[in-house]
């Protein structure tokens, strides 16, 4: 009822002010100016301005917190309207506030600044109160800032004369210069003229006692953290009840507790705790926002007055009981920070959880050549299939002139290069990466003695001194291959069959015309040893055992019997 009465009273005063402003503007626009009537309107306008300021302060105390920002902006806008009208009237009544500034100023240059003698002005000094900034700046801007006759140095001198207190401390360190004048104006606007600063300065905080509730501890003995959790549950229920009774919708509700363990439970997941704790934590999280729960020290917890007991006189005289902690009446950013504390595991009421460990094998996606090499047992077949695949890819990229003939020699060569490059990327990845950026191979690397290099197709080849020899490039600079790879085995088997199951030395000599296999003799011997036909030829002839000797081998005398 009080707020409705105040709002109606303010609307009436605003209507009267609007009428005065309109009458003053009509009088100012009239060619025949009535000075007496203008002074009378100025007095009325200032009286109404004072009345409006008082009623605005009353409305700000009674209005809801969520609407205070809109209310302050509305009041400031109407005050600007009054200030502009007052300045116009003063401009007519005193048209020459500053007369002949050129003849009155005297500038003396010194080592680090200027001393400027300027005429006195009737602008009220700005002390640093953001509520007074709008009125001060409107007066200063009209009288000094927009005066083209004055230089920026003179304007800066006027600015310093019109400041005091905090505002003067902001600009006191700047020397009198044109650049510093603009910088100081910008600093003052950012410091005192922003809307959020004005709203924050006008906002007031009031703490009032509304409702309290407590319970006797149950007969069954409970741990102290569980009792603190029950107290937090009562607080959450009270907050939810007051929110519905007072019809609070767009407002943050904060809850405090002096128990670090209970706070840890509330901010955690309910499924982690035992049944007793989980049920109450679930209800607290339903009624309130867990992020709005804060920690306060025990000496600032007014609930201890009820749980520990006190006399009626002490409760009546308790400031913390009726007004809360002192920091509650301050802005939110000045509240004490909530420090997370490590809680021992034996008192965290963790629920027993069965852990099941399963081993999972994650396979990397196979390279297409890996599947091809496992399905083909012949080097020529692998190259032919790879060549067809490469032709298919090229034909997909073309719309016309697709190749449909038999495979060409160049396509076979390209397929071999692609396969060899794949093998080397698997076996010598680090070495190839270092060669690509022109870095030397490590000292103890097995390839260092071969002086390897990358050709135009980025295939790793053996270096050497045969550059001027009249030999094929593959013979002068053979391709390097590892000894333990499927492709290496296929190439060795291919040359072994090509030369009609040749032996180790012949196969080695034939392979050296194009490839350089690391530990080649060991690899070739291993492949030839697995050849079934060669294994048959390696079988040894069986040796026939001799039969038993005749009876003649018995010992006998020379003359066995004499007749």
What is the edge-to-edge ordering of all strands in the sheet holding 460-461? 453-454, 460-461, 479-481, 515-517
CA distance 460 to 478: 9
Q: Are 296 and 325 in contact (CB under 8 A)?
A: yes
Q: What are the backbone dihedrals phi and psi of residue 420, each rounded to the nearest 5 degrees, phi first?
A: -65, -40
CA distance 561 to 53: 168
What distances in angstroms separate CA 538 from CA 122, 198, 224, one per listed residue?
123, 104, 89
Distance of alpha carbon 67 from its chain centroid, rounded?
A: 33
Q: Beta strand pairing status for 453-454 and 460-461?
A: antiparallel
CA distance 122 to 110: 29
CA distance 15 to 21: 10
Which of 149, 289, 129 is closest to 197 using CA atoms? 129
The domain ranges of the chain are 1-92, 131-202, 224-347, 368-535
Which of 270, 263, 256, 274 is closest to 225 using CA atoms? 263
CA distance 22 to 81: 11
Which of 136, 119, 269 is closest to 198 using CA atoms? 136
What distances in angstroms separate CA 280 from CA 17, 275, 310, one per listed residue?
59, 9, 28
Tell me, what's the pLDDT at 193?
A: 79
Which of 49, 38, 62, 59 is closest to 13 using CA atoms? 49
**Phi-psi region at 402: left, alpha or beta (left = phi > 0; alpha = psi -120 to 50):** beta
Where do the H-state alpha helices sit in 94-194? 101-104, 133-140, 152-161, 165-171, 178-192
Tell me, what's the pLDDT at 57?
A: 77
Output the furthest CA–CA distance in the chain (Å, rounded). 197
Which of 121, 125, 141 is closest to 185 using CA atoms? 141
109-151, pLDDT tens digit by residue? Answer: 333 344 444 455 567 788 888 778 888 888 888 888 888 878 8
Tell me, what's the pLDDT at 514?
A: 93
Which of 411, 417, 409, 390 is closest to 474 using CA atoms? 417
Tell me, what's the pLDDT at 345?
A: 52
Tell me, what's the pLDDT at 196?
A: 67
Q: What are the backbone dihedrals phi and psi of residue 115, each rounded to the nearest 5 degrees, phi first?
A: -115, 115
Which of 455, 476, 475, 481 is closest to 466 using CA atoms? 476
Q: What are the backbone dihedrals phi and psi of residue 287, each rounded to the nearest 5 degrees, phi first?
A: -80, -30
User: Token pair of 516, please?
Assistant: 């350089």
Q: Are 214 and 72 in contact (CB under 8 A)?
A: no
Can you give the three-state secondary structure of 74-111, one letter per residue?
HHHHHHHHHHHHHHHHHHHHCCCCCCCHHHHCEEEECC
Beta strands in 276-423 (DSSP E): 293-295
- pTM of the predicted protein model: 0.38
Which of 546, 511, 545 is closest to 525 using CA atoms? 511
Is residue 257 classed as helix, strand or coil in its secondary structure? strand
Tell me, what's the pLDDT at 347?
A: 56
Tell me, what's the pLDDT at 201?
A: 62
Q: Which residues contact 145 (CB under 8 A, 6 or more apart)?
A: 155, 185
Tell me, what's the pLDDT at 505?
A: 93
- If one counts every other C-beta atom within 10 angstroms of the C-beta of residue 339, the result is 7
Q: Are 504 and 517 in contact (CB under 8 A)?
A: no
User: Token pair of 435, please?
Assistant: 């060669």
CA distance 475 to 509: 11
CA distance 89 to 27: 10
Tell me, what's the pLDDT at 508?
A: 94
Which of 424, 421, 415, 419 is closest to 518 using CA atoms? 424
CA distance 511 to 462: 14
Tell me, what's the pLDDT at 106?
A: 36
Q: Which segments of the chain have a pLDDT < 50?
A: 96-118
Q: Are 175 and 112 in contact (CB under 8 A)?
A: yes
CA distance 459 to 480: 9
Tell me, what's the pLDDT at 353?
A: 63
**End-to-end C-alpha distance for the chain, whole angstroms:** 172
């Amino acid at each position: 009822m009080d707020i409705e009465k105040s709002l109606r009273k303010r609307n009436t005063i605003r209507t009267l002010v609007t009428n005065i402003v309109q009458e003053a503007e009509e009088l100012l626009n009239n060619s025949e100016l009535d000075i007496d009537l203008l002074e009378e309107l100025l007095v009325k306008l200032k009286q109404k301005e004072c009345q409006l300021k008082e009623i605005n302060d009353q409305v700000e105390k009674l209005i809801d917190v969520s609407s205070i920002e809109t209310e302050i902006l509305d009041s400031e806008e109407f005050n600007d309207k009054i200030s502009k009208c007052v300045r116009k009237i003063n401009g007519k009544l005193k048209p020459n506030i500053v007369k002949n500034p050129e003849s009155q100023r005297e500038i003396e240059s010194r080592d680090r600044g200027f001393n400027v003698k300027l005429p006195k002005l009737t602008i009220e000094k700005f002390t640093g109160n953001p509520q007074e900034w709008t009125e001060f700046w409107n007066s200063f801007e009209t009288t000094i800032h927009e005066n083209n006759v004055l230089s920026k140095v003179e304007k800066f001198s006027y600015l310093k004369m019109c400041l005091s207190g905090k505002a003067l401390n902001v600009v006191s360190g700047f020397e009198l210069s044109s650049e510093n004048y603009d910088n100081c104006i910008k600093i003052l606007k950012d410091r005192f003229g922003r809307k959020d600063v004005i709203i924050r300065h006008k906002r007031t905080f009031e703490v009032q006692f509304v409702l309290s509730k407590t319970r006797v501890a149950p007969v069954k003995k409970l741990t102290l953290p569980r009792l603190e959790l029950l107290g937090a549950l009562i607080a959450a229920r009270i907050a939810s009840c007051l929110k519905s009774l007072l019809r609070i919708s767009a407002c943050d509700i904060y809850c405090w507790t002096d128990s670090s363990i209970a706070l840890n439970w509330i901010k955690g997941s309910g499924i982690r705790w035992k049944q007793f704790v989980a049920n109450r934590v679930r209800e607290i999280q339903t009624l309130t926002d867990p992020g709005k729960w804060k920690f306060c020290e025990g000496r600032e917890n007014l609930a201890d007055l009820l749980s520990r007991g006190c006399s009626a006189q002490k409760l009546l005289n308790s400031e913390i009981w009726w007004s809360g902690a002192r920091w509650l009446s301050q802005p939110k950013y000045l509240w004490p920070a909530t420090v997370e504390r490590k809680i021992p595991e034996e008192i965290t009421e963790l629920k027993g959880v069965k852990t099941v460990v399963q081993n999972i094998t994650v396979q990397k996606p196979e390279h297409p050549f890996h599947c091809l090499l496992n399905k083909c047992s012949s080097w020529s077949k692998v190259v032919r299939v790879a060549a067809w695949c490469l032709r298919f890819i090229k034909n997909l990229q073309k719309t016309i002139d697709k190749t449909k003939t038999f495979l060409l020699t160049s396509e076979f060569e390209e397929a071999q290069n692609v396969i060899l490059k794949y093998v080397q990327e698997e076996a010598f990845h680090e070495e190839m990466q270092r060669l690509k950026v022109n870095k030397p191979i490590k000292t103890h690397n097995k390839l260092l003695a071969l002086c390897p290099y990358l050709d135009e197709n980025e295939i790793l080849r053996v270096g050497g001194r045969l550059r001027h020899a009249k030999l094929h490039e593959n013979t002068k600079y053979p391709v390097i291959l590892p000894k333990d790879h499927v492709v290496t085995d296929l190439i060795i088997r291919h040359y072994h069959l090509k030369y009609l199951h040749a032996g180790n030395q012949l196969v080695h000599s034939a392979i050296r015309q194009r490839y350089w296999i690391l530990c080649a003799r060991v690899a070739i011997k291993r492949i030839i040893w697995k050849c079934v036909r060669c294994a048959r030829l390696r079988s040894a002839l069986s040796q026939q055992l001799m039969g038993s000797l005749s009876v003649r081998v018995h010992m006998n005398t020379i003359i066995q019997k004499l007749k």
